[in-house]
Chain A
Amino acid sequence: MNFDKTPDGKTLTVELNGQIDSVNINDIEKELLEEVEGVTDLTFDMTNLEYISSAGLRVLLQMQKMMKKRGNMVIKNANGNVMDIFKVTGFVKLLNIV
């Protein structure tokens, strides 16, 4: 996972890589929550995300709910498999996917 934050600390792009599963989700969640502190514009770039299980979806939904209260959250470059899961779970309507 890579973070790219503007100097004012308000705009953050998070690059998700590889696999998000039940084993690594706790570390990812912890790191994310620290990084999004004070952020009002959050983008998840999923170009290199190959796999996400419901453990990851839970955190994405939690982030979306949180960001709705203080700004904006966008998902971009989700690949076929990841999009399939967003569709099955109705997340295409809950997340802001561009």
Chain B
Amino acid sequence: MKQITIDATMDNLPIVFDFLLQSLTECGASKSQMRQIKLCVEEIYINIVNYAYTPGKGKALITFDTVGEKDSPPVRAVISFTDRGAPFDPLSQEDPNTELGLDDTPIGGLGIFIVKETMDSVSYERRDDKNIFTMEKTIDLQAG
């Protein structure tokens, strides 16, 4: 398992991206899928930046693990985010209504929904005063 612990700030998003892309490259993910997962990682990380420690500061731990081997797929990527901020379950948010017209569609609130729709599974738990968000995706090996 690989992991990084960083200050949960907006400026550190590129560090999070580097960590993720390096990990995904090593497990053989396609470029297209890397962008998909990157998107989900941004949404969850930014959530921590915006809500976990406001108005203070704190750390975020991000882990990347794989289940299965490249030689004998499927390989599943398991990515987790841990913070010690205020309790917050992003999955408790109601999904946006994507059937509404332009005038009725509110601006915002799409981030977590994108994650739920894109990843194979997502989960949240509050444990030892920590928020732990985990998401998983089966890797498309070098599919383009």
Interface residues of A (CB under 8 A from B): 21-23, 50-51, 53-55, 57-58, 61-62, 64-65, 68, 80-81, 84-85, 88-90, 93-94
**A80 smallest CB distance to B (angstroms):** 6
- Contact A21/B13 with A58-B108, A89-B98 known, Cβ cut-off 8 Å: yes
- Determine which of B14, B101, B111, B114 lies in contact with A23 in the assembled complex, contact meaning CB atoms within 8 Å: B14
For residue B84, CB closer than 8 A to chain A, the reply is no
Stretch at the interface among B31-39, B61-69, B130-138: B31-39
- Determine which of A23, A64, A89 lies in contact with B110 in the assembled complex, contact meaning CB atoms within 8 Å: A89
Contact (Cβ within 8 A) B108 A88: no
Contact (Cβ within 8 A) B38 A51: yes
B35: A residues at CB distance < 8 A: 50-51, 81
A68: B residues at CB distance < 8 A: 102
- Determine which of B14, B99, B101, B114 lies in contact with A85 in the assembled complex, contact meaning CB atoms within 8 Å: B114
- Contact A58/B107 with A64-B102, A81-B35, A89-B114 known, Cβ cut-off 8 Å: yes
**A84 smallest CB distance to B (angstroms):** 7
Interface size class of B (residues with CB under 8 A): 20 to 34
How many contacting A-B pairs (Cβ < 8 A)? 64
- Determine which of B36, B46, B96 lies in contact with A81 in the assembled complex, contact meaning CB atoms within 8 Å: B36
Alpha-carbon gap, A70 to B108, bound state (A): 22
Can you give 16 A-B contacts (C-beta < 8 A)?
A21-B42, A22-B46, A23-B14, A51-B39, A53-B111, A55-B46, A57-B110, A58-B110, A64-B102, A68-B102, A81-B36, A84-B36, A88-B118, A90-B100, A93-B101, A94-B102
Contact with A along B8-22 (1 / 0, CB 8 A): 001101100000000
B26: A residues at CB distance < 8 A: none
Alpha-carbon gap, A80 to B35, bound state (A): 11
B101: A residues at CB distance < 8 A: 93-94
**B103 smallest CB distance to A (angstroms):** 8
- Contact A90/B14 with A51-B39, A54-B111, A84-B36 known, Cβ cut-off 8 Å: no
A21: B residues at CB distance < 8 A: 13, 42
